[in-house]
Amino acid sequence: MVLLIDANVVLDVLLNRHPHYEYSRLVWKKCLRRQAEGHISSLTFANIVYITRRTLKPERRSYLLGALSSLFKFEDLTQADLKAAADMKWRDFEDAVQSVTASRINADYIITRNTKDFQDSPIKAVTPEEYFMNIFDPEQ
């Protein structure tokens, strides 16, 4: 199963944000065990560095990049992705970019806590909790 992981799910684990931490951590764990194929957009990494700029020292960025790269596959942004996202005319351009990226990689789901902004996405968005309660099959 191919999953595009949104920034808020990555940040839940990195920043130990409760009550979301546990289910987000489980998503990471499934990717680590290769029970799901986790992808993140390079835009997600840039957003994470920006959001954590006050607490993430510059020398830790390389460490974080390496750690996330061992767990998730990074997806580059293309000019075509940006154009397709702009053409969608969504209020939140970053969410449109995530949707386009998920489509390009043939993701089964976008894992995010912000599902309402993905209602028009061709790839279904689910929360980490919904993924484990309704989708993930431990027998696979």
Coil/strand/helix, residue 90: coil
Determine if residue 132 is left, alpha or beta; phi over 0 gives left, psi from -120 to 50 gives alpha, anything else beta: alpha
Crossing angle for the helix pair 7-14 and 21-32, nearest 10 degrees?
100
- Confirm whether 12 is domain-assigned: yes
Residue 51: CATH number of its domain: 3.40.50.1010
CB distance 72 to 40 below 8 Å: yes
- Confirm whether 118 is domain-assigned: yes
User: What is d(CA 34, CA 55) in angstroms, rounded to the nearest whole number?
Assistant: 30
User: What is d(CA 80, CA 134) in angstroms, rounded to the nearest whole number?
Assistant: 33
| The two three-digit tokens of residue 108, written as one number | 């089964």
Closest CA to 95 of 36, 8, 25: 8
User: What is d(CA 118, CA 120) in angstroms, rounded to the nearest whole number?
Assistant: 5
- Confirm whether 61 is domain-assigned: yes
> Which pLDDT belongs to residue 100?
97
Closest CA to 38 of 60, 6, 78: 6
Range of the domain at 65: 2-135
> Which pLDDT belongs to residue 79?
95
> Which pLDDT belongs to residue 136?
64
User: What is d(CA 27, CA 43) in angstroms, rounded to the nearest whole number?
Assistant: 19
- Confirm whether 128 is domain-assigned: yes
In this prediction the pTM is 0.91
> Which pLDDT belongs to residue 44?
92
Q: For the chain (length 140 residues), average pLDDT per consecutive 10?
A: 95 91 94 94 90 81 84 94 96 95 97 95 96 71
Domains in the chain: how many in total? 1
* Amino acid making up residue 85: A
> Which pLDDT belongs to residue 59?
79
- Confirm whether 108 is domain-assigned: yes
Half-sphere exposure in the Cβ direction for 58 (13 Å, CA): 0
- Confirm whether 140 is domain-assigned: no
